[in-house]
Amino acid sequence: MSTPASLCTILQHALSAGDQDALTDLYIGGTPPNTLRAYERDLIYITAWADAAFKKPLQWPEREDVALRFILDHSRDLRDASDPARDAAEHLIAKGLRKTLACPAPSSLDRRIASWRAFHRMKNLTSPFDAPLIRQTRAKARRAAARPNAPKSANPITRVVLEVVLATCDHSLRGIRDRAVLMLGWASGGRRRSEIAGLMRADVDLKNYDNDGLIWINLVATKTTEMGKTPKLVLKGRAAKALAFWIEMAEIADGPLFRPITQNDDPLERALSPDGIYQIVQKRIALAGFPKGFATPHGLRSGFLTQAALDGAPIQAAMRLSLHRSLAQAQKYYDDVDISENPATDLLG
């Protein structure tokens, strides 16, 4: 992954050029790609906010009054036209960095503060967010703006739903690709869209496919696993056939596994983006006749675990594929299964 220019700027310190390059390479190589992308987005947002609110660039270390203002600006609705924070918010909305004047989710504020603190650590500086008043204000703001957790997908894409969605995939190259994306995303444990988009041809092991029908998937890193420590995942049956067929028909010898398709039904050289995965799911959900907003790509993940619960699969077995690190997190999907559908209710027959 290429080093974001803005992160390189953050990493500047009183080091020799060689040491600086080595430190930058070490930091980038040791940070998950998803985290790097989040840092990049948050740095863009924070920089734009500081410019709009104070007409100044970020400082290192940042002043405590600036940190306090950031929390206050993101802890309430900005309906009052005379509110000084509203001008900065409208500036961010105009830049496409903020959606509305409503109070952002506490998790969004927490993530941006975590990134800002990380930027200070990169420069070996004390973060203003560690000051007692700032810490207390942040805790109060989080409690005041608390809201129920909304599911990442309105509905899980269970096996029944998936079958209907797969029926919309025709025999065009686009249909073959979408079928492989959906089946791999579901059957390999409910992969996140960034994980699907990030797969390379070299991550797919077909050497035993002809003999045993198994395809091994090597994810370099996920949200819950470290670089190089992600266990291999397996595809079998229809999912393995769908993936092997896509690789054969698109002639994917190396490079990105999933790619955009031209209007002439030809694959491009570049990788399909995470947003491209989102668009595939949305398009196929709509073609299958489900209402708008019925499910998002996370529905593949929640659907896999929900189906595992419906089929009576031990949660530990499901987690072996989903790669959930937290038993409590995975248990939520099992708890969502209606008690009347629980296989344990049929033990007596």
Last residue of a domain, one of 114, 144, 174: 144
Q: Are 132 and 171 members of one domain?
A: no
Q: Are 258 and 136 members of one domain?
A: no
pLDDT tens profile 127-136: 999 999 999 9
- Residue 349: per-residue pLDDT: 60
Q: Are 122 and 244 members of one domain?
A: no
Q: Is residue 174 a part of any domain in this protein?
A: yes
Tokens 């509905």 identify what position? 155
Domains held by the chain: number: 2
pLDDT tens profile 43-65: 999 999 999 999 989 998 999 99
Q: CA-to-CA distance for 221 and 56, rounded, in angstroms?
A: 37
Q: Where are the alpha helices (DSSP H) in the chain?
A: 5-10, 17-29, 33-54, 64-73, 84-94, 106-122, 132-144, 159-166, 173-187, 193-197, 209-212, 237-249, 274-287, 298-310, 315-322, 327-335
Beta bridge partners of 200: 256
Last residue of a domain, one of 116, 144, 172: 144
Rounded mean pLDDT, 9-24? 65
Q: Are 102 and 196 members of one domain?
A: no
pLDDT tens profile 255-282: 999 999 999 989 999 999 999 999 999 9
Q: Is residue 153 a part of any domain in this protein?
A: no
Q: Which CATH number does the domain housing residue 35 bear?
A: 1.10.150
Rounded mean pLDDT, 318-330? 80
Q: Which CATH number does the domain housing residue 272 bear?
A: 1.10.443.10
User: Over 50: is that where the pLDDT of 179 sits?
Assistant: yes
Q: Is residue 105 a part of any domain in this protein?
A: yes
What's the domain range around 33?
5-144
Kindly indicate the confidence band of residue 5, based on its pLDDT and cuts at 50, 70 and 90: very low
Q: CA-to-CA distance for 344 and 82, rounded, in angstroms?
A: 60
Q: CA-to-CA distance for 153 and 148, rounded, in angstroms?
A: 14
User: Over 70: is that where the pLDDT of 14 sits?
Assistant: no
pLDDT tens profile 281-307: 999 999 999 998 899 998 999 899 989
Q: Are 36 and 121 members of one domain?
A: yes
Q: Tell me the three state secondary structure of residue 170.
A: coil
| Pairwise pLDDT comparison (115 vs 142), residue with the higher score | 115
User: Over 90: is that where the pLDDT of 174 sits?
Assistant: yes
Backbone angles phi, psi at 256, to 5 degrees: -60, 145
Pair of tokens at residue 343: 């296989």
Last residue of a domain, one of 120, 144, 168: 144
- Residue 3: per-residue pLDDT: 47
Other beta carbons less than 10 A from residue 179's beta carbon: 25
Q: Are 11 and 40 members of one domain?
A: yes
pLDDT tens profile 210-262: 889 999 988 776 665 556 667 788 899 999 999 999 999 999 999 999 999 99
Q: State the chain's mean pLDDT as an integer.
A: 85
Kindly indicate the confidence band of residue 6, based on its pLDDT and cuts at 50, 70 and 90: low
- Residue 68: per-residue pLDDT: 94
Q: 54 burial class (0-12, 13-18, 19+ CB within 10 angstroms)?
A: middle
Percentage of the chain modeled with pLDDT above 90? 48
Q: Are 313 and 171 members of one domain?
A: yes
pTM, to two decimals: 0.62
- Residue 2: per-residue pLDDT: 44
For residue 210, how far is the Cα from the chain centroid? 33
Q: What is the DSSP string of 245-298?
A: HHHHHTT--SSBSS--B-TTS-B-SSPPPHHHHHHHHHHHHHHTTPPTTS--TH
Q: Are 129 and 195 members of one domain?
A: no
Q: Tell me the three state secondary structure of residue 301.
A: helix
Q: Are 184 and 275 members of one domain?
A: yes
Kindly indicate the confidence band of residue 123, based on its pLDDT and cuts at 50, 70 and 90: confident
Q: CA-to-CA distance for 189 and 325, rounded, in angstroms?
A: 13
Q: Which of 28-32, 157-161, 204-208, 268-272 has the lowest mean pLDDT?
A: 28-32
User: Over 70: is that where the pLDDT of 9 sits?
Assistant: no
Q: Is residue 150 a part of any domain in this protein?
A: no
